[in-house]
Structure 1
Amino acid sequence: MRRGLRSAIGIASAGALIALAGCTTDPSVEPAEGDGGAQEEAPAEEWFDQEVYDKQFKQREVEPEGPDDKPYLQMINPEMKDTSEFKSEGGKKMCFANASISNPWRQTGWITMNEQLKELKKNGVITEMETRDAQDNDDTQIADIDYFIAEGNCDGFIISPNSTAAITPAVERACKTDKPVIVFDRGVETDCAVTFIHPIGGFAWGIDTAQFLIDNLKEGDKVVALRILPGVDVLEQRWAAADKLFSEAGIEVVDYFAEGDPAEIKKVVSDELAKGDVQGIWMDAGDGAVSAIEAFEDAGKDYPVMTGEDELSFLRKWKETDMTALAPVYTNFQWRTPLLAAEKIFQGEEVPSEWVLPQSPITAEDLDEYLERNEGMPDGHYAKFGGEDLPGFPEVWQERVIP
């Protein structure tokens, strides 16, 4: 576990834009000595990119283009790309190199993706998808992508990278096959893919969440930041934006990698509460959010101001406790979009070179609506999964049928 303390360095508005060090994605992540082999992350400022920060800050307010009832086909400020070179007849086989299905967010998306695949098979464009699961391992995913390339039986590639820098060369090799490559969820350091599909991004998440905490806390208050993985662009950017804004606002922050493990999260928060009061909890992903809340209950402390995620376990605990909270969203319905993009590409239709999907937090005003819409879904389900119009709804998600 890596721990770092950010002390207050002055007050400024959350919207103030201060240029920090340029963005880098160093692939080396070394274990921290004497700390159980946990990983040391790059300093937040090394992942800060002022231009991207500014862009995502503005995109949060943009009305997306596309059908209101199909958010997975909406797009923000798209620059369309000609795909006529890939137009061809007949059923197509997609090869999907997935980072993992090791957490509830990815499991929810994986279920939705497979339900979308069933529908596309009926249309005869995408008739098959071979998938390899890297189980959160860079080397495994690199081997998976190279296997698909060597197999030579893929009409196109879908890649959800495990990490940013390490997977880039393998993505570039896939691009050299002259078959369409679609990257989604996490990014890589190349633009060779036909389209890169993602919600607005990590900086937008960091801005929304940090601003919420700042608005509900005061200078000198303490926030515990719970993080899951180092070296993943969208996660590092969430923290880089939040760290910047907390520092500007005079909020004291201590951050930990707890890997989404509920027991570790509870231990971290309990240890911090034993040292003194904690007024806020910030998370770069909502896994284990309920454990953080339970640590306050066990210690007999007032509930914190908190940001979690749109996982139902957190939303239900939020409703039960009536705490001051926000559920940021890294829109799970993005798992549908790569297959729909592939269908468009093989039909020669334009797609955005960077397909930016909407990303709107669930607020206290929205909470009851999303709880009602997801009534009967398990705690590990994500409220904005966007699969309500697929034939398997709701049973497939209720039963957590993992393909």
Structure 2
Amino acid sequence: MRGSILGKVTVIAATSLLALTACTTDSSIENPPAAEESAVAEETAAAQPSEDSTEWFDQAVYDEQDQQRSATFEGDPEQPYLQYIDGEMKDTSAFAAEGPQKACFSNASISNPWRQTGWITMNQQLQVLQDSGVISEMETRDAQDDDNTQIADIDYFIAEGNCDAFIISPNSTAAMTPAVERACETGKPVIVFDRGVQTDCAVTFIHPIGGFAWGIDTAEFLSERLGEGDKVVALRILPGVDVLEQRWAAAERIFEENGIEAVDYFTGADPVEIKSIISDELATGDVQGVWMDAGDGAVAAIEAFEDAGADLPVMTGEDEMSFLRKWDETGIEALAPVYSNFQWRTPLLALEKIFAGEEVPAEWVLPQSPITEDERGEFLTANEGMPDGHYAKFGGEDLPGYPQVWQDRQIP
């Protein structure tokens, strides 16, 4: 997103304000922030969408991400967390450094299984770079999904004056932009990943392709399998989070073009609310498809059809293991879109390059490929023994502690 991160990829807010890809319903995760998650769910559950999706639709960004779905990625496919789409490269020779360097990480949260999976992977990657003498330590502050807390966290790091580099996963876009700019003004390298901000001052911005790509993948899949006049229930986690809104803006456009009736609901990722929504819709007529902007709660949606004795829908979920397993069990027609969880490795690997004075992509766009029916068995086998809240494309199989650390789900 050079020039303006918002302007080019319209802020890839990936795992959203607080749950891009799930809320903490996985019982294998210890001590989830239940009170906070519950409050979010209560505020958003069953709320009919108040946002006009047209305000989130950007034709230029839509077209760019559509093209990037079939782009050629530079680098080794066996290391997708290091791949990128060819583009502007940043000279980092000014940041070359001798000896281990300290990283300071301002994290939006670890409040859902997607972020927890990534956080575990990131810490195992950190161990590798500490052992090799690249990074001395990574001081981390968790904003717990709060803009004000994260602003204070970034300002704390700046005032502390003891950071050799900053890694920032923003809680939200506009609110975090001034704080990111202040970090850039220190003269230390800044890496933004997962969600974007409205400045290009960072050395690199790391993210998978984006929300429009997700929306295109999923809506095209459903549209190809459904007919004009068929009904799709869209289950959305939260309003106002750009990557989620982009997913729906793209999907809604494609459904309209294909004459598919789509009704959307905000659920707060609450399985009880999801079941209630599906049950109410089935009571008024047939539902042929289910679309989700994140996979947490997908199992509850399928169970609602089973409870009603209704034909199972064509469906899109996510690469969370609970969905892949339920998909395999039921044999439904489905697709698992991916917001590549392996991106949590990339900021630390980018620091390794930056401290060596090597070029890095100014905008580091990572692969984002859905899991298809043909691939599902492969990912189920590869992730056998992983908890339901684990993400199949986590990309940490070559890191120390695999698979035990991820199976035990011990959050650092």
> Fold match, TM over 0.5?
yes
Residue 119 of structure 1, aligned match among 128, 137, 142: 128
Match of 2:379 among 370, 374, 379: 370
Task: Tell me how far 1:261 sits from its aligned partner.
Answer: 2.0
The one-letter code sitting in structure 1 at the alignment partner of 2:254 is L
Aligned residue among 320, 323, 341 for 1:314? 323
1:76 and 2:76 equivalent?
no
Take 1:36 and 1:129, find their aligned partners in 2: how far apart are those partners? 35
The 1:140/1:80 distance shift into structure 2, 3 A limit, reads: same
| Cα pair 1:138 1:166 within 8 Å, conserved | yes
| Contact map agreement 2:62 2:250 (CA 8 A) in 1 | yes
Q: Aligned partners of 2:114 and 2:234: how far apart in 1?
A: 19
Alpha-carbon deviations, 1:170-224, whole Å to 9, x = none? Answer: 1111111111111111111111111000111111100000000100111111111
What is the match of residue 271 of structure 1?
Answer: 280
Shift, 1:255, TM fit = 1.1
**Whole-angstrom CA distance in 1 between matches of 2:96 and 2:233:** 51
Q: Which of 239, 242, 262 lines up with 2:271 in the alignment?
A: 262
Distance (Å, rounded) in 1 between the aligned partners of 2:88 and 2:263: 39
Amino acid at match of 1:121: Q
Q: Could you tell me which runs of 5 or more consecutive residues in structure 2 were left unpaired when the two chains were aligned.
A: 1-7, 12-16, 18-40
Tell me if 1:143 matches 2:143: no
Q: Which residue of 2 aligns with 1:171?
A: 180
Does residue 157 (structure 1) correspond to residue 160 (structure 2)? The answer is no
In structure 1, stretches of 5+ residues that fail to align are: 1-21, 30-34
CA distance in 1 between partners of 2:192 and 2:9 (Å): 20
In structure 2, C-alpha distance between the alignment counterparts of 1:252 and 1:327, rounded to whole Å: 22
| Native 8 Å contact 1:145 1:174 kept in 2 | yes
CA distance in 2, matches of 1:24, 1:71: 23
| TM-score, normalization by structure 1 | 0.89
Give yes or no for the alignment of 1:98 onto 2:111: no
Alpha-carbon distance in 1 for matches of 2:230, 2:179: 44
Given that residues 108 and 145 in structure 2 are in contact (C-alpha distance below 8 angstroms), is that contact kept between their aligned partners in structure 1? Answer: yes
For residue 37 of structure 1, report the CA deviation from its aligned partner.
4.3
* d(CA) in 2 for partners of 1:344, 1:266: 47
> How far is the alpha carbon of 1:283 from its aligned partner?
0.7
Aligned-partner SS, 2:263: strand
TM-score with structure 2 setting the length: 0.88
Give the deviation of 1:232 after TM superposition.
2.2
CA distance in 1, matches of 2:269, 2:314: 19
CA contact (8 A) 2:334 2:372 kept: yes
For residue 122 of structure 2, give the secondary structure of its aligned residue in structure 1: helix
Q: Distance in 1 between matches of 2:359 and 2:340?
A: 23
Q: How does 1:289-304 map to 2 (within 5 A)?
A: 289-304=298-313
Give the Å deviation of 1:23: 9.8
What is aligned with 1:305?
314
CA apart distance, 1:326:
0.1
1:286 and 1:358 map into 2 onto residues whose CA distance is 19
| 1:23–1:49 contact (8 Å) kept in structure 2 | no
Amino acid paired to 1:387: G
Determine whether 1:247 maps to 2:262.
no
Secondary structure at the counterpart of residue 141 of structure 2: strand
How far the C-alpha of 1:36 sits from its partner, in A, is 6.6
CA contact (8 A) 1:227 1:258 kept: yes
**1:196 pairs with 2:205:** yes
User: Which of 379, 382, 388 is equivalent to 1:379?
Assistant: 388
Partner of 1:329: helix, strand, or coil? coil
Whether the aligned pair in 2 keeps the contact of 1:162 and 1:232 (CA below 8 Å) is no
Secondary structure (helix, strand or coil) at the match of 1:365 reads helix
CA distance in 1, matches of 2:159, 2:285: 57
* Aligned partner of 2:243 among 226, 234, 247: 234
Partner residue of 2:60 out of 51, 57, 78: 51
Please give the alpha-carbon distance, in whole angstroms, between the structure 2 residues aligned to 1:329 and 1:177.
35
Separation of aligned partners in 2, 1:126 and 1:266: 47
Q: Percent identity?
A: 75
Q: CA deviation at 1:24?
A: 8.0
1:78–1:352 Cα contact (<8 Å) kept: yes
Aligned residues: 374
Equivalent-residue separation in structure 2 for 1:386 and 1:37 (angstroms) = 34
Change (3 A) 1:341 1:320: same
In structure 2, relative to structure 1, the CA distance for the partners of 1:23 and 1:360 (3 Å cut) is closer
